[in-house]
Amino acid sequence: MAASLQLSFKPFKPSLQQAKSVSNTAPNFSRVRCSAVAPSRSYTVTLLPGDGIGPEVISVAKNTLQLVASLEGIEFKFKEMPVGGSALDLTGVPLPEETLSAAKDSDAVLLGAIGGYKWDNNEKHLKPETGLLQLRAGLKVFANLRPATVLPQLVDASTLKKEVADGVDLMVVRELTGGIYFGKPRGFSTNENGEEIGFNTEVYATHEIDRIARVAFETAKKRRGKLCSVDKANVLEASMLWRKRVTELASKYPDVELSHMYVDNAAMQLVRNPKQFDTIVTNNIFGDILSDEASMITGSIGMLPSASLGESGPGLFEPIHGSAPDIAGQDKANPLATVLSAAMLLKYGLGEEKAAQRIEAAVLDTLDRGYRTGDIYSAGLKLVGCKEMGEEVLKSIDSNVAAAL
Ligand SMILES: NC(=O)C1=CN([C@@H]2O[C@H](COP(=O)(O)OP(=O)(O)OC[C@H]3O[C@@H](n4cnc5c(N)ncnc54)[C@H](O)[C@@H]3O)[C@@H](O)[C@H]2O)C=CC1
Ligand SMILES: CC(C)CC(=O)C(=O)O
Ligand SMILES: [Mg+2]
């Protein structure tokens, strides 16, 4: 194997609840029948395909999970539920109560993506994005881990020069349930001139800063021991408090080297010299933006997975990309970000490290064999669609099994 994905840290509170419910969708991959292991662990996974390319990439990730489950003696009970625009169309709300309770009752949740042109002009409470925010808040998953690793196979897919991109391996720890996406007051009003205004509030309480900072220090400790806290403390009060609390907490982590950076500089440094970063901790909106930027260092936003974890309860696992309406329904989406999110689900959500490694190894093997979706394609390689990429990942899982026999 050419490289490891190095998503190497442990969940701080893995969810290992007993599986609770619903239909058994046992794996049915005849070509691995000889290697299949009788299930000894059972998990309920709520699948939320969502909108746009969401269902396409979730279908690939589900097949991948089923195949590794059959090899690892795992039984998955999948429950598919609506969220986002598809839930709006079906039920009138972007996060039906049934979806949230299924998610809460499961061992882990895997989401595709939400959103689309059709719902762009909906009122705020009827937007697909509101459903996603409600889901994250409902599951209390405040810590969003977004690894960005440049795989050797994809150095040429990066928009940065090879020497800048090669070897980049960073982790964005994004606060996910606070800040300006949730802060009040927010809304629309009129100012003293009778002019229409829209407003939002960036607000953080100390406990919200402390808990995400602790996750970030722990993450950095298990990586290369460097933590960069990104804020806008030269302007924003919420950032001033953020910087103060992170600095105070640093004394508890003497083996972690803490630095601070303003977000505008961080955006620049990410493309100037991304290798200077190990772990980045930042607020909800800056983490959202910087992780999309970091994705292009690695070749494509279609490559980056994420894990969102709370103090307890199921984790939420999703690619960092959106519903990509421009390519939806065309079999063009790169499913690897979701497949790697499924690997994070196994590792950080369920503690099934070996099964996760099978997926990570298969992704690298598929890339080694030259398969590329359009977003990471370079001349001379094999251009495939979403479904075929998924099939190739399954073949790689199979052949790794064969190699191990
Ligand atoms: N977590 C979520 O569900 C998110 C949802 N959204 C929603 O998605 C919709 C579209 O938002 P955009 O700003 O266009 O962001 P986007 O991430 O959906 O797409 C940005 C660009 O990246 C490409 N892209 C994204 N994922 C890809 C993949 N797997 N393979 C190949 N190319 C891929 C798209 O084709 C597009 O050109 C909006 O409604 C937005 O609110 C956006 C971000 C996150
Ligand atoms: C769609 C938004 C709610 C969030 C977003 O862009 C993200 O989490 O990456
Ligand atoms: Mg985003």
Active-site pick, 51, 107, 169, 288: 288
Comparing CA positions, the residue from 11, 4, 101, 94 lying closest to residue 51 is: 94
In contact, 164 and 273? CB cutoff 8 Å: yes
Q: Which amino acid does the sequence have at 43?
A: Y
Question: Does the beta carbon of 164 lie inside 6 Å of ligand 2?
Answer: no
Sequence-ordered strand ranges (E) for 248-396? 257-262, 279-282, 307-309, 315-317, 371-372, 382-383
Kindly report the CA angle at 223 between 284 and 65, in degrees rounded to 5? 75
Residues 6+ away with beta carbon under 8 Å from 182: 133, 137, 284
Q: Whose CA is nearest to atom 39 of ligand 1?
A: 115
Phi-psi region of 373 (alpha: psi -120 to 50; beta: other; left: phi over 0): beta
Ligand 1: centre distance to CA 378 (Å): 21
Distance CA 354, CA 345 (A): 12
Indicate if 288 belongs to the active site: yes
- pLDDT for res 405: 65
Q: Which amino acid does the sequence have at 260?
A: H
**Angle of the 54-72 helix axis to the 386-404 helix axis, nearest 10:** 10
Active-site pick, 264, 326, 354, 382: 264
- pLDDT for res 21: 28
- What are all long-range contacts of 251-254, with beta carbons under 8 Å and residues at least 24 apart? 252/217, 253/217, 253/220, 253/221, 253/227
ipTM of the complex: 0.99
Residues (pLDDT < 50) of the chain are 1-34
User: Whole-model pTM above 0.90?
Assistant: yes
- pLDDT for res 104: 98
Prior bond to 185 cis, omega within 30? yes
| Positive or negative: CA dihedral 384, 376, 116, 83 | positive
- pLDDT for res 6: 36
Distance CA 248, CA 74 (A): 43
Indicate if 181 belongs to the active site: yes
- pLDDT for res 347: 98
Comparing CA positions, the residue from 235, 246, 376, 357 lying closest to residue 303 is: 376
- pLDDT for res 165: 98
Comparing CA positions, the residue from 63, 81, 131 lying closest to residue 342 is: 63
